[in-house]
Amino acid sequence: MKKQLITLLAITLFFSCKNEKQSNGKLNVVTTTTMITDLVKNIGGEHINLQGLMGSGVDPHLYKASEGDVTKLANADIIFYNGLHLEGKLVEVFEKMKNKKTIAISDALDKSTLIGSEYFASNYDPHIWFDINYWKQATQFVVKTLSEAIPEQKTNFEANGTKYIEQLNTLKNKVETTINTLPKEQRILVTAHDAFNYFGKAFNFKVVGLQGLSTATEAGVQDVQKLSAFIIENKVKAIFVESSVPKRTIEALQASVKSKGHEVTIGGTLYSDALGDAGTIEGTYIGMFEYNVNTIVGALK
């Protein structure tokens, strides 16, 4: 028995001699969520090998690793992740990695401006990409990190960064114009989970989530009742489904409002924790943001 085990080990070790690390001289960068992948792609461009772990429509709280992800992580030179417990247990894994450069995008931000948990001081809302100002800071942070890693490409990264911040400014103006067409008292956003708090803070929306911060918890009957009363009282026209959260709970909410004799429509699907499919307009951060705003304003008007 022991002999067999040793043989097995020997075979394993023998096969392990070839190393698959790709080395075309570029830096291997791994990112977690689709938002971060898009950001790093805009800055790093063709000067880095970029690989994202999560695909479109994947809920970062509930992401499950595949075998290929191990190789991606093992070969990575820099890992960018969101932090603030967005990626669940993965954040812990990154924090413990001592032989790799792991960068939490949220470290770029001033923690005191973030929205915190009522009960536990060190827990913050992780959905920082919904504030364009934060995303600009994140852009500068990524530019700085990549420039430190590859100093010879510094000018390229900085040029890309400036260009991207330019685009983000344009986006911000465009979005503000759209939102300004919506009267202040109609700016109420009801969604499946509390992903849009920063969005609400930036654009004066009142944001109500059915499920709370973590998508792992389930909405209770009481939550649905309370929220439907709120919808009727404030004459909210539409509620929204999210791409990475099952729409069952929002449909339950709609049914609950209907049962009390009022009408509320489902305004459409918003992208919250993940971007749309790669290659589509919603597959980029800017496209996603515009789409969300147009959907929200269109449905609430």
Partner 1 sequence: MSSAQIEIQLIASLVAVACAIPGTFLVLRKMAMISDAISHSILPGIVIGFFITQDLNSPLLILLAALTGILTVVLVEYIQKTGLVKEDTAIGLVFPALFSIGVIMIAKNANDVHLDVDAVLLGELAFAPFDRLIVSGVDVGPKSLWIIGSILIITIGLLFSFFKELKVSTFDAGLAASLGFSPVVIHYGLMTVSSVTTVGAFDAVGAILVVALMIAPAATAYLLTNELKRMLIYAICFGVFSAISGYWVAHWLDASIAGSITTMLGLIFLIVYLFAPRKGIIAVLYREKQQRTEVSLLTFLLHLKNHTEERERHVNHLNEHINWQKVRSKTVLDLALKNNMIQLDKNIVSLTEKGEDFTSQAIDYIITNEDTQIEDMKDDFFLFRG
The footprint of partner 1 (CB under 8 A) covers 1, 4-5, 8-9, 12-13, 15-21, 64-71, 73-75, 85, 88-90, 92-93, 96-100, 117-120, 123, 212-214, 216
CA-wise closest residue to 166 among 143, 141, 148, 139: 139
Burial group, residue 253, by CB count within 10 angstroms (0-12, 13-18, 19+)? buried
CB of 127 to partner 1, least distance (A): 14
* Residue number, 46 or 67, with CB nearest to partner 1: 67
Phi–psi pair at 124, nearest 5 degrees: -120, 160
Considering beta carbons, is residue 140 or 214 the nearer one to partner 1?
214
- Bridge partners, 48 (sequence order): 27
Instruction: Write down the least CB distance from residue 60 to partner 1, Å.
Output: 13
Residue 123 or 204: the one with the smaller Cβ distance to partner 1 is 123
| CA dihedral sign of residues 142, 105, 59, 223 | negative
Minimum gap (Å) between residue 70 Cβ and partner 1: 5
d(CA 274, CA 157): 25
Residue with smaller CB distance to partner 1, 13 or 221: 13
Per the CB < 8 A criterion, the answer to whether 35 and 130 are in contact is: no
Min separation Cβ 120 and partner 1, Å: 6
Q: Residue 59 or residue 282: which is nearer to partner 1 going by CB?
A: 59
Nearest CA-CA partner of 292 in 191, 169, 154:
191
